[in-house]
Amino acid sequence: MGQDSVKQRRVGAVLEVTLDRPKANAIDAATSRAMGEAFAAFRDDPDLRVAIVTGGGERFFSAGWDLKAAAEGESVESDYGVGGFGGLQELPDLNKPVIAAVNGMAVGGGFELALSADMILAAETARFALPEINAGTLADAATIKLSRRIPHHVAMDLLLTGRWMEAEEAARWGLVNELLPADKLLERAHALAKLLAEGPPLVFAAIKEVMRLTERLTVQESFDLLRSGKVPSLRTLYDSEDQLEGARAFAEKRAPIWKGR
């Protein structure tokens, strides 16, 4: 059942994943597992370089946790799959770029799904909210991540009040990279994804891993880690053909040809 709600489309080296569960693109456990499988397959496919995650329809990116499923007995301790809730936020070793194309309301777990991406593009009509406070619980992933993305006091405002944040405000705080007319959102997401897909995949992998591993370290601790030889993606990069190709291409004043090895 969850597989039917997760649509996949390959465009060259780009994978588009669409959460399509009318009316609100809410996520139950089966859908979350299907999304995790889709993103794990993306991670492991050497021919895919970039992923886009978006919502079906025009009104919702995702309403988050499926409360109907919750009312029928599904709990927060259910099996949400290899990537955790929504398939992205706990997926290990995902060292490829992911773009969220937020086409409508991103609520609760839907907001958290967008936060799991590396870049966020949003329709001008998009809205964001974390209403869990009104149901007597917390948006756990957003509680962990949001203050790392926007100013602490703005994050606390959203978490403590559950209020709506309009797309324009999200852009003002740097939560989203770009605002676009709704009918141009996917076009722009694919243009950005194509640009990234033409870039050096081993460098992208190193950037994501270094950022992940050093997020809570001091600057000196971070440099010590990089020099320790214990960052796998850095070892791969420094021993790669791509590293030599980048230097040669620069010296020869030509465009590099990246092979990912």
Task: Single out the residue of 181, 202, 197 nearest to residue 52, CA to CA.
Answer: 197
Catalytic-residue membership of 112: yes
Return the higher-pLDDT residue of 74 and 158. Answer: 158
Residue 109 pLDDT level (bands cut at 50, 70, 90): very high
Task: Single out the residue of 190, 201, 198 nearest to residue 43, CA to CA.
Answer: 201
pLDDT at residue 189 tops 60: yes
- The DSSP string of 80-125 is --TTSTTTTTT-TT--S-EEEEE-SEEETHHHHHHHTSSEEEEETT
Task: Check whether residue 206 and residue 193 sit in a common domain.
Answer: no
Q: What is the CATH number of the domain that holds 16?
A: 3.90.226.10
Which range among 126-130, 143-147, 209-213, 246-250 has the greatest average pLDDT?
126-130
Annotated catalytic residue, options 37, 74, 124, 132: 132
Q: Do 36 and 65 touch, CB atoms closer than 8 A?
A: no
pLDDT tens-digit readout, 70-88: 666 666 667 899 999 999 9
Task: Check whether residue 25 and residue 47 sit in a common domain.
Answer: yes
Task: Check whether residue 163 and residue 246 sit in a common domain.
Answer: no
Name every residue whose Cβ is closer than 8 Å to that of residue 184 and which is 6 or more positions away in sequence. none
Q: How much of the chain is in helix, strand and coil states, percent to nearest 5?
A: 45, 20, 35
Q: Do 204 and 196 touch, CB atoms closer than 8 A?
A: yes
How many domains does the chain contain in total? 2
For 161, the token pair is 């009040």
Name every residue whose Cβ is closer than 8 Å to that of residue 7 and which is 6 or more positions away in sequence. 17, 18, 20, 56
Catalytic-residue membership of 132: yes
Beta bridge partners of 178: 121
Task: Check whether residue 17 and residue 112 sit in a common domain.
Answer: yes
Annotated catalytic residue, options 16, 74, 112, 209: 112
- The pLDDT score that the predictor gives to residue 6 is 97
Average pLDDT over residues 128-139: 89
Average pLDDT over residues 187-195: 98
Return the higher-pLDDT residue of 17 and 257. Answer: 17
pLDDT at residue 238 tops 90: no
Residue 44 pLDDT level (bands cut at 50, 70, 90): very high
Q: Can you give the pTM of this predicted structure?
A: 0.90
